[in-house]
Amino acid sequence: MNLGPGAPGWNKITSMNDFFLIAIVIMVFLLIFQIAKASEYVSVLKGEEKSRKQTNRINGFLLVGFLILGLIGAWWCNDLYYEKTLFPQGSASVEGENIDTMMWITIAVTGVVFLITQVLLFWFSFKYQESDKRKAYYFTHNNKLELLWTGVPAIVLTVLVVFGLKYWFKFTGDAPKDSQVVEITGHQFAWEFRYPGKDGVLGKKNFKLTSPEHGNPLGVDWADEASHDDIHVQQMHVVVGRPVKLVINSQDVIHDVGLPHFRMKMDAVPGIPTTLWFTPKWTTEEMKVRTGNANFSYEIACDQICGKGHFSMRGVIIVETQQEYDKWFAAQQPEYVKAMTPAAAPKADSTGTKPLAISTK
């Protein structure tokens, strides 16, 4: 039965919903108004000071209750959802282990600060509420205190930032010499991958040559002979245990190669190639066993809201053994050959790659 928009009587249902919604809002306002008025009368009867102290006491108890329930809630959520995060799987790249360590240190430091400040905040509002037995102590300035609460966070943050920079320079710096190079190009809304052929060199590109209609969606310069053995595919294959260097491009807006399993990410910026390298630790098949998920696949999630189809920018990375990789690579036809002999294109599709004529728009 059709119950969605356009179904008979749908207009009636939505107008009834609107009516109830407005009625509820009005009644809530009336309720608040009545409570406020009632408490005003109570304070007149009891005397203002007495009723203020009573309100303070109630608020104090509520704040302590909020603290306890809040802490239990935070613990409970963690217990419930921790297994669903990517933490228990461990980092799928060697370098990502450093990121996880940093993440844990950051969580530990901020967690301790969070606990101390929240307990003090709520406990103090209860403990030091208005009382006739004591008077508040005022001080306008305290150098020791200023130094302490400026110095300690400054030192802690410096340590965190220095470690962050150290790893950042490592992952974005020179990749190991035996690295495999994969060029990733993002566009609205998909990822394209290009691999150098036997020569190990990616052919030059020129954006003016971009022409999906002529089998050249990436704008490769065919005049550069290094491009003649390069392959262009829609799925990324990498070898387990071998460092992979990503050369990241974008053809339109800023995208982001987000690699949650490998704990890496890097923006794809039009006109400015960015790089990143990491070493995959486990093959896709091994991850299926580790996660107990037969459908597991490493993914690239675009980490920049890049337009209407942003959600669909999911790339798949297949991590495999050298043998499997060699077999896959040998089955690929160079993009140059495909572009020059368009009739041959459908043949290569049997290996699982999609046709190249997909528009980049």
Tokens for 291?
């996660």
Rounded to whole angstroms, the Cα distance separating 154 from 150 reads 6
Q: Among the candidate windows 57-65, 221-229, 241-249, 303-311, which touches Cu ion by CB under 5 A?
A: 303-311
- 184 vs 287 by CB, closer to Cu ion: 184
SS3 275: strand
- 230 vs 303 by CB, closer to Cu ion: 303
The verdict on 187 binding Cu ion (CB under 5 A) reads no
Task: Supply the minimum distance, in Å, between the C-beta of residue 310 and Cu ion.
Answer: 5
The verdict on 306 binding Cu ion (CB under 5 A) reads yes
Strand 255-259 and strand 298-302: the pairing is antiparallel
- 240 vs 257 by CB, closer to Cu ion: 257
Q: Do the beta carbons of residue 288 and residue 186 sit within 8 Å? A: no
What amino acid is encoded at 149 in this protein? W
- 255 vs 263 by CB, closer to Cu ion: 255
End-to-end CA distance of the chain: 38
Pick from 194, 205, 237, 255 the residue near Cu ion by CB under 5 A. 255
Q: Among the candidate windows 77-85, 86-94, 100-108, 297-305, which touches Cu ion by CB under 5 A?
A: 297-305
Bond preceding residue 262 cis, omega within 30 of 0: no
With tokens 């306002």, the residue in question is 29
The verdict on 281 binding Cu ion (CB under 5 A) reads no
**What part of residues 25-84 is at the interface with Cu ion (CB under 5 A)?**
none
* Radius of gyration (C-alpha) of the chain in whole angstroms: 30
- 91 vs 250 by CB, closer to Cu ion: 250
Q: What angle separates helix 48-81 from helix 96-127, to the nearest 10 degrees?
A: 160
Residues written for the chain = 361
| CA within 13 Å, CB half, 103 | 11
Task: Supply the minimum distance, in Å, between the C-beta of residue 248 and Cu ion.
Answer: 12
| CA within 13 Å, CB half, 200 | 5
Q: Among the candidate windows 269-277, 304-312, 332-340, 351-359, which touches Cu ion by CB under 5 A?
A: 304-312
**What part of residues 93-132 is at the interface with Cu ion (CB under 5 A)?**
none
Number of residues that bind Cu ion (CB under 5 A): 4
- 98 vs 251 by CB, closer to Cu ion: 251
The verdict on 313 binding Cu ion (CB under 5 A) reads yes
Q: Do the beta carbons of residue 53 and residue 42 sit within 8 Å? A: no
- 293 vs 312 by CB, closer to Cu ion: 312
SS3 190: strand
Task: Supply the minimum distance, in Å, between the C-beta of residue 123 and Cu ion.
Answer: 46
Rounded to whole angstroms, the Cα distance separating 8 from 18 reads 18
Task: Supply the minimum distance, in Å, between the C-beta of residue 79 and Cu ion.
Answer: 34
Pick from 92, 182, 233, 302 the residue near Cu ion by CB under 5 A. 302
Task: Supply the minimum distance, in Å, between the C-beta of residue 251 and Cu ion.
Answer: 11
Task: Supply the minimum distance, in Å, between the C-beta of residue 284 and Cu ion.
Answer: 23
The verdict on 218 binding Cu ion (CB under 5 A) reads no
Percent helix, percent strand, percent coil in the chain, to nearest 5: 50, 20, 30
Site residues, Cu ion (CB under 5 A): 255, 302, 306, 313
